[in-house]
A and B are shown apart, each in its own frame.
Chain A
Amino acid sequence: MVKKLGILFSGGKDSMYAAWLAKKEGYKISCLISIVSENEESYMFHTPSIRRVEEQAKSMGIPLIIVKTKGKKEKELIDLEKSIKLAIKDYDIEGVISGAVESVYQASRIEKICNKLKIACFNPLWQKNQLELLEDLIKNGFEVIVVGVFAYPFDEKWLGRKIDAKFINEIKKLQEKYGINVAGEGGEFESFVLNCSLFKKKLIIKDKKIKGSKNSWRMDIKLE
């Protein structure tokens, strides 16, 4: 069995839940790997705010590797490979975990890089029922908020909302009516984890700024 893993980490619910599962199954999380894309329409990555991810890493007590990319289609993959190589060199990781659920584009590119570098690749959320994923987050004590919405019928009122039973009910109704993906993996919304059992200290929002228009909004947060 491989032991030390690196998490491809965006700070959102999917990569955090994947990390949590790995820990639960007895793996050691040796480092977090965040790719920060300058292109908000990145093909591969959710584009986390560096400061936010740093706060999460600090609370988990896990080293963080940040690699910046311009977010151009194939260049992103070279930067991803670079970051994984760095994690192998600095933290002896034997495998990588991603929070990929449905995206074959994303999963197969990560698989190819890991295969080339001869390390393992795990996607423990692969094909997972989206509703089940949201319910698992609540059941296992994750505190997750919405920090971005990018599709009709979402608007700025959704920003900052906590993923709880009420959220799930409302989003279920939207799914029935508009066919949106309940867990947001299709890019409908972006989430941020404020607390879970991997954290030593819960993150608290000190300040927030909202920007956007129509059905595309982001919330920048400052943490205490």
Chain B
Amino acid sequence: MDLVTMNILESTMVSICREMGITLMKTSYSTIFNEALDFTCGLADRNGDMIAVAEFCPAQIGGMPLLIKSCVRELESDGIEEGDVIVHNDPYRGGLHTPEHTFFKPIFVEGELMGYAVSIGHIAEVGGMVPGGFCGEATEIFHEGIRVPPVKIKRRGEDNEDVWKLLLANVRTPRYNYGDLRALISAVDLGERRMQEIFAKYGTDKVAETVSDLLDYSERRMRAELAEIPDGVYTFEDAVENDGIENRRFDIKVKAIKQGDGIIVDYHGSSAQARGPINATLGVTWSATYNAILHLTDPSIPKNSGCFRPIRVLAPPGTVVNVDYPAPEVGGNTETHPRIAGAVIGALAKAVPERAMAAEGCTHGNFVFGGHDKRHDEYFACYDIEVVGWGGRSYADGNDATDSINGNCRVIPVEVFETRFPFRIENWVFLPDSGGPGKYRGGLGYEKTLLCLNDEIVASQMTDRHELEPWGLAGGKAGGKGATLFQRAGASDWQTIAQAFNKQSSSKYSNITIREGDRIKLVMPGGGGHGDPAQRDRAAVAEDLREGYLTAEGARRDYGHREAAE
């Protein structure tokens, strides 16, 4: 193994993936890409093994190995030619959820297939029952938008216009979708070009040999990390509070069997798949499991298919962790993923308490809306990501207002949001006391109030933690819950969505109509605390009080802070 070349090649390939992502960001039309960065880019070898990836969206990073393998498998019989670009979003064939569109471009060198450039992005509008993709009340996949098996959107370098027409005829915002799909293709075009330069510089044999070594190296690094975790069987469970259809819990049960330098994560015993759209695909459950283990191990291990080899995931079909056709699934990638990852961390916290964090808010808010914008005489649709407090750790407070564990996305800045969509953001403030008490408290959640400026906006949501709080760890207490509230124009009282619109759930609903002057308040959960609150540094409590992170009452109640009581 030539470690020097391997290191240079690995860094170069990761840089290529980053450059692909920046290209995607800069050329896209929708805020979900150019502001929120809900995408990632990677490279695969000819077998479909992921060999490098950029640090954008972890959900897509962990999902990529199964996704690429599944598509390569299906495309084998069709033949892949130079200049082809394949698009795919089928959640039952390795995909993550319907909005997540994956683009593959084969990399040929002198007529020989050497690998693939890959971009995955969350398309903001995919047709289906609601503008914005997240139908909180979907009961089958056909409610959730257009489903695309692996098909060639470009064939030998030329647009396959039939595919383009089909894709763009089935969405509400074809102009934006066209731009976003082009941006995803730009990314794989760049990846192909850059990798061809690498093959030209080093030679195909040397690159193939080094990449093989790199995957083995990552595997060895991960095995060495896992070997340090005490052998044992570790269990934990968490739940999604409802599915938008039935008002009951859906359990995620984890049994992590750590033995030697490998780990088996078994989800048998988890709830049967839901009628509503909280089900995770197999790709999501693989991704969530990898995500959790990456959080507990050395972050410098190169991220590729090699580092996932020692991890085996058992996800029984027909459950909330492995949805069967044709059940709905759009919330599995955003809400159930963090619940799965959190449960794996919760289980392994018993083995490696110093590395684990308490529960984070575990939701992306997923407030989606659309309508006809009277200012621009055009249909708009938006996927608005909101962020949460993270859990306290054994050495530090949780991060405030940070995207949930599988997102790594940014919120849309107020100025951009108000320019692009007919809402005014009236306030956006941290919620004091929302960080779970602990020696190290959870990060803070917040509330944001949106005033509708359009005649009519149709909104939907897929979120969670309105009822089940983010749990604390090692004696830490739960973080604050979320909420979505509605205020009719001219009224002074706030109602839950269930009250105002007669919905089953206030966290998962579809197609409510908001009119000019109405307000929506999004309350995002905080993170759980870590350790006994009585052990929190008194100076830290006083500082939280000064900063407004704690109320006087909260300081007294949760920390026995005497100055606050006087």
- Do chains A and B stick together as partners? no
A contact residues vs B (CB 8 Å cutoff): none
State the B residues within 8 Å of A (CB): none
